[in-house]
Amino acid sequence: MAVQPTAGLSLILRLELQNSTATFGRLASTIGEAGGDIIAVDLISAGKETVVRDITVNVYDQAHGKKLVAALAALPGVKVINVSDRTFLMHLGGKIEVHPRVPVKNRDDLSMVYTPGVARVCEAIREDPSKVFQLTIKRNTVAVVSDGTAVLGLGDIGASAALPVMEGKAMLFKQFAGVDAFPICLDNKDPDAIVDIVTSMAPAFGGINLEDIASPRCFYIEDRLRERLDIPVFHDDQHGTAVVLLAGLLNACKVVGKRLEDLKVVVVGIGAAGVACTKILLHAGVRNIIGVDRSGALVRGEQYDNPVWQWYAEETNPEGLRGSLSDVIEGADVFIGVSAPGILRVEDVKRMAKDPIVFAMANPVPEISPEDAEPYVRVMATGRSDYPNQINNVLCFPGIFRGALDCRAREINEDMKLAAAEAIASVVGEDELSETYIVPSVFNKKVAKAVSRAVIEAAFRTGVARRERRDLLEV
Ligand SMILES: NC(=O)c1ccc[n+]([C@@H]2O[C@H](COP(=O)([O-])OP(=O)(O)OC[C@H]3O[C@@H](n4cnc5c(N)ncnc54)[C@H](O)[C@@H]3O)[C@@H](O)[C@H]2O)c1
Ligand SMILES: O=C(O)C[C@H](O)C(=O)O
Ligand SMILES: [Mg+2]
């Protein structure tokens, strides 16, 4: 599926060029003709006969990058010295590190932060366990836990391969909401073992963000952990996604002038994200939702091995539509994809209702490319950073945990999620709303603040906050 060249695949080509404008001209036009997008040109060294330059080029995909490099290597006067991938360069050595909050400059400091002084702090926590929130990292630290079974849309790629995503989540927690998050990838797929491991490590954390754990195991793991722990347990692919989806849909409906209760919504991919998106939409008042997975639409009366699908079939698809995505998409107002790349065909988009809304949220490659869909849709969104309308759980998880940690919430409940969705939607003013601006940018500093404020309010309202309101001023 064609997507435009982006920074997601950006190459730095170190080239030795013969010192003539003709060489550079040929080089630039070869890159342009091959569909590469030149982002930067840097001079590394200059000699009499040759110069060495770094040319940064965005490409479509790896094959495109290879073709482009081969075309350059074939040019007279051009020698390819090295090709590096900027994304890989950003991952060298990992993306996060731990910093001490107080300096340890001498023996006095050492005897306070460490032995013997630390022992009194330990005793204080033993006497009053709630002091762990004041005297340790617990108050501001979240574990990002994955078993590597549903990493983005890449599937079960294992714990080590999941680590770059979990590090990325940890970075975003810190950058957008000041939350210290730690990536924990478990080389274990036994749901009960995962529950035991996470329960055992919970003392160090103020919250647990489950990430990229495949369904239906993710439902069991989250439910058990919520029963066993007194800190928020939040499966981001379920609830973070659902919150942002609802925020986007609230605003998209304003743009197209439709009401939630009148929509026909098709959700494809009835896994972690699809189930949670459906639940939040039902909660928000959407009545006609049809869920489609690999074997077609889920229909009441059928027997499914997955108990969550059994629930799903009972609660959705009021008209009992059967068949494939193509069969059920006729007349739909909204398509929500949380499944796999390229599964939505242009012909099917054309058969949706007037002013269709398409949220193709599979990562890293959406269900349909915006380039293919845009001519036929009114509002188009993906999960990616390189297109407008990024419906991605990063708009939710930093702020929702910020709020939960600050008021020391026991859990993140339905009211807190709805409040978060409304807060995200409200950051885009009515006068700013448009087809290409239904959710705020991830970089909009108002987002995490608005979300955490709304979440704290909802936590107090629903009685799950463990701090006094007045103490929040100290945060
Ligand atoms: N944009 C976001 O914020 C966001 C958040 C969460 C998940 N996602 C994306 O959604 C996708 C699913 O994630 P998940 O965590 O729910 O995974 P999951 O493994 O829990 O669920 C995926 C579901 O999609 C179904 N599926 C796969 N291929 C399909 C196809 N061709 N047709 C119909 N159904 C198909 C699977 O059977 C499964 O039920 C991934 O691509 C992920 O990157 C995006
Ligand atoms: O990681 C993302 O970009 C969003 C989401 O958590 C996903 O699994 O795709
Ligand atoms: Mg995820």
Per DSSP, 294 falls in state T
Q: What is the pLDDT of residue 184?
A: 98
214 lines ligand 1 (CB under 6 A): yes
Instruction: Give me the residues paired with residue 290 across strands.
Output: 266
Q: What is the pLDDT of residue 279?
A: 97
The CATH class, in words, for 237-475 is alpha beta
Instruction: Give me the residues paired with residue 41 across strands.
Output: 55
Closest by CA position to 342, among listed 366, 377, 358, 371: 366
Q: Is 392 annotated to bind ligand?
A: yes
Q: Contact, 164 vs 111, CB < 8 A? A: no
Instruction: Tell the residue number behind the tokens 């988009």, with chain if given.
Output: 349
> Which residues lie near ion ligand 3 (Cβ < 5 Å)?
212, 237
Q: Is 319 annotated to bind ligand?
A: no
Ligand whose nearest atom lies closest to the CA of 276: 1
Most informative mutation of 172, 212, 386 for ligand 2 (most atoms within 8 A of CB): 212
Q: What is the pLDDT of residue 208?
A: 98
| AA letter at 380 | M
Q: Is the pLDDT of residue 302 over 50?
A: yes
ipTM score: 0.98
Q: Is the pLDDT of residue 474 over 90?
A: no
How far is Cα 381 from Cα 358, in angstroms, rounded to an integer? 6
293 lines ligand 1 (CB under 6 A): yes
Q: Is the pLDDT of residue 246 over 90?
A: yes
- In order of 56, 134, 138, 206, 396, the CA distances from 141 in angstroms are 37, 12, 5, 5, 17
Per DSSP, 131 falls in state G
Does the annotation count 169 as an active-site position?
A: yes
Q: Is 156 annotated to bind ligand?
A: no
Mean pLDDT of 175-184: 98
| Residues in CB range of 412: below 8 A, 6 or more apart | 232, 234, 239, 400, 404, 455
The atom number, within ligand 1, closest to the CA of 269 reads 24
Q: Contact, 351 vs 10, CB < 8 A? A: no
Instruction: Give me the residues paired with residue 50 across strands.
Output: 18
From 194-198, 390-394, 467-471, the region with the lowest mean pLDDT: 467-471
Is residue 398 classed exposed, middle or buried when 0-12, 13-18 and 19+ CB atoms within 10 A define those classes?
A: buried
Phi, psi (degrees; rounded to nearest 5) at 468: -80, 145
Q: Is the pLDDT of residue 223 over 90?
A: yes
pLDDT tens string 307-359: 999 999 999 999 999 999 999 999 999 999 999 999 999 999 999 999 999 99
Q: What is the pLDDT of residue 186?
A: 98
User: What distance in angstroms lies between residue 273's CA and the mean position of ligand 1's atoms?
Assistant: 7
Is residue 372 classed exposed, middle or buried when 0-12, 13-18 and 19+ CB atoms within 10 A define those classes?
A: buried
Ligand whose nearest atom lies closest to the CA of 392: 1
Q: Is 237 annotated to bind ligand?
A: yes
User: What distance in angstroms lies between residue 187's CA and the mean position of ligand 1's atoms?
Assistant: 21
How far is Cα 341 from Cα 89, in angstroms, rounded to an integer? 26
Closest by CA position to 203, among listed 145, 147, 141: 141
Chosen CATH of 6-91 out of 3.30.70.260, 3.40.50.150, 2.60.40.10, 3.90.1150.10: 3.30.70.260
0.95 exceeded by pTM: no
Mean pLDDT of 244-253: 98
Residues in the chain: 475
pLDDT-derived band at 475 (thresholds 50, 70, 90) equals very low
Q: Is 167 annotated to bind ligand?
A: no
pLDDT tens string 373-401: 999 999 999 999 889 999 999 999 999 99
The first and second tokens of residue 353, run together, are 């209702």
Mean pLDDT of 196-220: 97
The first and second tokens of residue 239, run together, are 């609830």
Q: What percent of the chain has pLDDT over 90?
A: 94
pLDDT-derived band at 3 (thresholds 50, 70, 90) equals low
pLDDT tens string 444-455: 999 999 999 999
CATH topology of domain 107-231: Rossmann fold (3.40.50)
Ligand whose nearest atom lies closest to the CA of 241: 1
Neighbours of 335 (CB within 10 A): 26
Q: Is the pLDDT of residue 83 over 90?
A: yes
| Active-site pick, 169, 258, 264, 279 | 169
pLDDT-derived band at 92 (thresholds 50, 70, 90) equals very high
| Mean pLDDT estimate for the chain | 95
Q: Do 107-231 and 6-91 fall under one CATH topology?
A: no
Pocket of ligand 2 (CB under 6 A): 152, 165, 212, 236-237, 363, 383, 392-393
pLDDT tens string 408-434: 999 999 999 999 999 999 999 999 999
Atom 8 (ligand 2) nearest CA: 152
| Active-site pick, 66, 114, 350, 445 | 114
| Pairing state between β 207-210 and 141-146 | parallel
In the chain, where the domains are located? 6-91, 107-231, 237-475
Q: Is the pLDDT of residue 1 over 60?
A: no
pLDDT-derived band at 470 (thresholds 50, 70, 90) equals confident
Most informative mutation of 294, 424, 438, 439 for ligand 1 (most atoms within 8 A of CB): 294
The first and second tokens of residue 26, run together, are 């040929």
Atom 7 (ligand 2) nearest CA: 152
How far is Cα 222 from Cα 182, in angstroms, rounded to an integer? 18
Does the annotation count 114 as an active-site position?
A: yes
Mean pLDDT of 70-96: 95
User: What distance in angstroms lies between residue 364's CA and the mean position of ligand 2's atoms?
Assistant: 8
User: What distance in angstroms lies between residue 288's CA and the mean position of ligand 3's atoms?
Assistant: 26
| Residues in CB range of 89: below 8 A, 6 or more apart | 12
Atom 40 (ligand 1) nearest CA: 153
